[in-house]
Structures are given as structure tokens and as C-alpha cells.
Amino acid sequence: MAQELVNPVLGKDLIGLEELTREQITAILDTAETFKEISERPVRKVPYLRGRTVVNAFFENSTRTRVSFEFAEKRMGADTVSISTTGSSVQKGETLVDTARNLEAMRIDMVVIRHASSGAARFLAERIESSVINAGDGKHEHPTQGLLDLLTIRDHRGPLEGLKVCICGDVLHSRVARSNIHGLKRLGAEVAVCGPMTLMPPDVGDLGVRWFNRIEAAIEWADVLNVLRLQLERMKAGFIPSLREYNRVFGVTRARVEAAPRDLLILHPGPMNRGVEIDSDVADGPHSVILQQVTNGVAVRMAVLYLLSGGPATEGGDA
Amino acid sequence: MSRLLIRGGRVVDPSQGIDAVLDVLIDGGKIARVGEGIESSDAETMDASGLVVAPGLIDVHVHLREPGGEHKETIASGARAAAAGGFTAVVAMPNTDPPIDSPATVGYVKAAGLRAGGARVFPSGCITLGQKGEQLTEIGELMAAGAVCITDDGRPVMNAGLLRMALEYAQSFDLPVALHEEELTLSRGGAMNEGIIATRLGLTGIPNAAEDVMIARDLMLAELTGGRLHIQHVATRGGVDLIRAAKAKGVRVTAEGSPHHFTLTDEAVGWYNTNAKMNPPLRSAADRDAVRQGVADGTLDVIATDHAPHHYDEKEQAFEDAPNGIVGLETAVGLAYTELVATGLIGLAEMIERMSCAPARAMNLDRAADGRPPLGSLREGSAGDVTLLDPMLEWTVDPAGFLSLSRNTPFGGRKLRCRAVRTIIGGTTAWQSSA
Ligand SMILES: [Zn+2]
């Protein structure tokens, strides 16, 4: 039964960009493009998910991502329920497998999951028939964030083939970085990472990216900078000596951006630490597309929900 | 029946340099004779033609989970699983709940082992109280109660000064100090081998250096103190090299290679397969090959399983949240033979040396003690502990058939060659294959 609902473009789940082909990624971005227009309408609703139930299972805090998914679901007409860590049974020791069984028993159509453990989304997807969308699992992937970054870059720079994109900052702990690396490379971009070696994953070069240990060199090379959030507790854990030094050595500052040989495009997944990884006048400046990322986030999530649901409900045949 | 005559098998006993078709007579629980054409009218006779007759196999590294983890394994179920795997004796690790850090708890494990009706169970005791790494246990009392070694396995002894004391103090009793080698500030709670697979999966990796640094430190402490060091489950090429060099210098060290470390690499983790999660983790192909080579040249004297049973619920979790370890007792013989002997890396005699004679020596079980005759040999007067192996038998690992209470293995469905078909302990058959 569930088999008929699976859309051939995407399969049952969206776990990571590592598993997607160039065609699949392009299909999502193209679909998102059409959904952007819906958000411009006075009545921002389409009925594609009417009668479908989506559960947002957020076992880790993320207001931004959760709100973006909820907007996307509501604009598609889905019935939604949100479970968050606070007050959920997970805190009482319910295991992920129990969560899976309960979700399955409720006969829902889709689950959006955010979890602190890498692999949690795949774990759930392997155990339930509903479609699972990974909204960030541990340090693994955050595919919709990766897709919205791709869409934003594509909006401004056209096809990604040959474009030079540098991901700056704490790549080691970043699921956004992994999704970006896979997605960008799949679309033919050249990818680099920049930051101190303590924040670089071991063997990151084997993912097909180059490493800059100086932000100046990265800026010299890049067309696009995707600046990651530096978790402030990394300093206490010894990954960097101080925030001040980080800003001095690796910060994306106005002076550095203005010295760039090309017109840089600057992204940041938010929330930002202004004055640490990025300066305010850069974040709010002419190169920044940070707010468009937020807008594109809703369109990308609508596209993913749409494609995973098998297209319009009238054609889905699940009545 | 107090007399058992095993006729016409290929007797392989490296402790005496024997590899020939011979008969073995067990009388009163001990080996009475090994020779040609033994006649004994009143003995139970079994035909062992086509089989290998080895001194009983010994696994010096198993977790039996009792007390405290009886839903994973009990001393009785573990001892039966051991016998089914061809082991006649096992050394039980003390990281139970509560940990085995007092004479009373050592006595409990010993007594439960005597009742178990499977392999002989030898307790080990903790190095430090509660395995907290702060204060030495009453090492002499633990030994008097039956502990054959001391170990904080599951955890390293991070305090080098304290470990020095343990190595020195344990020498009064000629007791081996067995060590889980892990520098915790380097492993940082990592879930698998550091490398490209961990990077792709977004898992914190454990670098080889986490193990190598501690092995290097502890070899130096063994050299300093003259103490008896036994290094558990070596998983890195650096570790193998360090031990090889230390042995060449005359440091008193023995070491283990485990079947999973000489068989698998971190690729077995695949997409978060928790049955490939263990500590030390599965590492690179170069490390696996070094472990193989270490077992082959005797740098790793002992093959030990680190049998670590877990309930399926506990492995059915996100990778980072799942516990470390796999069961090993019932697959060890097949893996050792298939991976090491059938590939031509070692001979059958070396395999038996690493799985019986050397483990007995490493844990002082090759000497009579406690009213028990020596183990790990078919010499006259040794314990009547014999493992009969069928080296031609091909079989497929079926976890559902395990006698262990747990099923956590990455080897389900794997085709192996060689299996124990009968396990004799003190002249009595403890397990026999039904096929
Ligand atoms: Zn261990």
C-alpha cells in the first residue's frame, strides 16, 4: 500500500544528500522554485497535503527549523502535530525504537525528525512505513538546510557547475557542512573548508574538498562563503583558544570581504554569533543572502513534502 | 564413566610439539596417556577419526554480566555458550554491577562458575575499587579468593602512578595485570574508528593514538617495574609494533588479538550497524592486517573474544547510544580457522597454541592450583579438558541458535569453516554437537 505512494523522484525518505543523485537534487530545487511563488500569494495555501498527517518530532531544540517545517506543512494543507523534547516521553527513557513503534501505530504519513544522535533519522526510516524527513541528526546531515543553501546560491549565481564554495568554521561538528559538501559536489561545484584543524573532520579531504587554514586564502579562492555557527562551548572544550582569537584569525570581517578579488556571496545557516564567526556589517551587508535562505527554507521544505507524498493527493490514490 | 578413550584423531598439542594421529585416554578427570593403539577395556570409547583433538580451548576475556546484567548473560549461560564454542575454560571480566572488587564477589563468581555446568569459570578481580581508578583493591585477598588476574577492563587505568603500584604490588603474587588500553581524553567518548567513515556518518572517531599512547605508556611501566602485563584486545598496527618491540627487549608482556579485530574493518559499521560497535573499535584494513600478522608471529600470544553480550533492546538504538561489544564465544573457532588457518597465515598448531596453551600460560592456568590439574596441555597429569574440532565442517552463523542469552553479532549469516563438535571438561562431555 505504502509502496504506491512512493514518489519515484525521491523514494520514501529524505535522510541525507549523500544518497541523492544530481537529478534528484535538481528536481527538488526546481520544485522549490515553483513553490516560492505560492509564498508570494495573498492566500499562501495549496491543498497538496490535505488529509495527510505530519508529525514533527523534535528531540533537540531548534526553533528555526521547526517553524520553517510547520509553515511548509500548513501551507500545503497538512494536519500537523509537534512533539518536542520538553514534556515528551523521550525524557522518561522511552527509546527511539518505542517512538518509532508509537508513530507507526498512529498511522501517520510523514515524520520530520530532529535528533541529537547521528543516524537517528535513518534508524527511524528503517523501522516505519511512513516517510521520514531528516531535520538534522547529530553531526551527520541536515539535508533541507543543504538544499536551501543550494537553492539560494543557484538563485544568485545560476548553475553551480564550477562554482567555488568555501564552508567556513566548525565543520567537525556541523551536519550542515556535511549536507552542503555532498550537495554542492553532486551539482558540480568545487568545495573547500576553512578553519583551524581542530574543527576539521579527520580525512575531510577524502570527501573531495580542499582545506584552507587561513580565511584570507579561502576568500581569495572562493565565489561563495557559507559561514557556520561556532558553538561557544567549543572554546571550553579546547577546540579553540578564545573567541577573540577566532574572530581575529578566522572571522569573516568587513575588511576581509572588501579585499576579496570577486564579489562574494555570503551565507550563514543561523543563528549567528555576531562578532565571532561573522561581523555584523557583513551579516547585514550587501553580500549577505542570509534572510533569503530563511525564505527559501520554507519553499524547499514544501518541495520535499510534496515530492515525498507522491505529488498531489488527488493523484496519490491513498483514499 | 570415569575413563574416556578418544581414538584415532589428529592430536594437536603445541605444548608438547605433538601433531599426529593418536589416541588420548582420560582417567579420573586427567589426561592419563597420549599414544598409539591405546587399549582400555573399561573406558567409554569414541571414534575421533577425521577430527582434531586439542587441549581444551581457553578464552581469557569474556564478560558474563553476572551479577547485575543477568538479562544479557548469566555465569551459567555464558559457561554453556563457551562450551558450545569449544572452550573448556574462560576468564570472567570484573566490570559487573557491582564490580568484582572484593574477595566476597570473587568468591561469588567462582561458586556460580562451579555450579554452571559448562566451561570452567575463572574470576578476575578489579585493579581499583569500583574500577574508579583511585585506590587499589585488596589484590592478595582477591587472588586468595580465586582471581587469576586483575583488570579494570572496560576502562583504562588513567593514573600512571597508580598503575605502577598495581604492577609492582601484583608481582608479590605473580599475578598478571590485564589492561584495556584507552587514553580517554583522546577517545573523547567516540563511537567508532576515526577516519573517513566516521566523518561521513557524523560520528566522533577514536584515533589509533588513543590506544597506542596507553600501550606505549604501559609497556614502559612494565619495563620499569618488571611486572606482568597482559594487554587486552589490541586493535592497532601501532599497538602491535610497540608490543613486538617491547618483547624483543624482554619486557614481560602478553597480548590478545580478537577475532573481530582480525576479521573486520570499520567498513562493517556500514550505515550505523550497532552490532559492529565495540571498544576498541574496528579499524582500518592496515590495522586489521597488523593484528593478523601479530597473531601469526606470536606478538599477540592469545586469541581472546572479548565476548560482550547485550540485550537486543540495548543494541536497537541510535549508534552513539548503543553499548559497545559483540558476543564471541560461539564464533571464535570458526573465525580463527577461516580467517587465519584456511588462508594459510598460520597452521592449525598455531591456532591451538593461541587459543589454549598461550592463554593458559598468560593466566597461570598451566600450573596446578586449587586442587585443579594444569590446563592448556594434553601432557599426562593435565586436566582432562579436550576440544574436538571438525576442520572440514562448513557452517553458517545463526545467532538464533546461540546458547548465549544474547545475539549481538555482526557475523550472522557468515559462512565459516571448522567448529567444535565436542567439548570435554575433566573427562566429562560438557557439550556435543547434535549434527
Ligand atoms: Zn576492554
Model pLDDT for residues B374-398, shown as the tens digit of each residue? 999 999 999 999 999 999 999 999 9
A26 CA from centroid of ligand 1 (Å): 48
Residue A5 has pLDDT above 50, yes or no: no
For chain B, which ranges sit under pLDDT 70?
Answer: 1, 435
In tens, the pLDDT along A54-92 reads: 999 999 888 899 999 999 999 999 999 988 765 455 555
- pLDDT over 90 for what percent of chain A? 76
The nearest CA of chain B is from the CA of A52 a distance in Å of: 28
| pLDDT reported for residue A91 | 52
pLDDT at A93: 57
Residue-wise pLDDT tens digits, A253-265: 999 999 999 999 9
Best mutation site among A90, A123, A200 for testing chain B: the one with the most B CBs within 10 Å? A123
Write the CA distances from B65 to B193, B307, B311, integer angstroms.
26, 10, 11
Q: What is the DSSP string of B207-241?
A: -HHHHHHHHHHHHHHHHHH---EEE-----HHHHH
Q: Which three cell numbers stand for residue A119?
A: 543516524
What is the model's pLDDT at position B41? 87
B287, three cell numbers: 590495522
Distance B61 CA to ligand 1 centre (A): 9
B306 an active-site residue?
yes
The pTM is what? 0.93
Report whether pLDDT(A319) > 70: no
Among all residues of chain A, which has the CA nearest to that of B321?
A117
What's the gap in Å between B104 CA and the centre of ligand 1?
23
Residue with cell 541529537: A116
Please give the pLDDT value at position A40: 79
Instruction: Write the secondary structure of A69-112 as one string of H (helix), E (strand) and C (coil).
Output: HHHHHHHCCCEEEEEECCCCHHHHCCCHHHHHHHHHHCCCCEEE
> Which residues in chain A have their CB less than 8 angstroms from residue B317's CB?
95-97, 123
Q: What is the pLDDT of residue A300?
A: 98
Cβ partners under 8 Å of residue B19, min gap 6: B10, B11, B12, B13, B348, B349
Residue A252: CB atoms within 10 A of its CB come to 26
Q: Establish if B269 touches chain A: CB-CB under 8 angstroms.
A: no
Instruction: State yes or no: cis peptide before B67, omega within 30 of 0.
Output: yes
How far is Cα A190 from Cα A185, in angstroms, rounded to an integer?
7
pLDDT at A316: 38
| Tens-place pLDDT, residues A174-211 | 999 999 999 999 999 999 999 999 999 998 999 999 99
CA A68 – CA B50 distance, rounded (Å): 70
The mean pLDDT of A89-97, rounded to a whole number, is 65
Exposure string over A294-311, b if 16+ CB within 10 A, otherwise e = bbbbbbbbbbbbbbbbbe
- Residue A91: burial class (beta carbons within 10 Å; 0-12, 13-18, 19+): exposed
pLDDT of residue B223: 98
Q: What is the mean pLDDT of chain A?
A: 90
Q: Is A314 exposed, middle or buried (0-12, 13-18, 19+ CB in 10 A)?
A: exposed
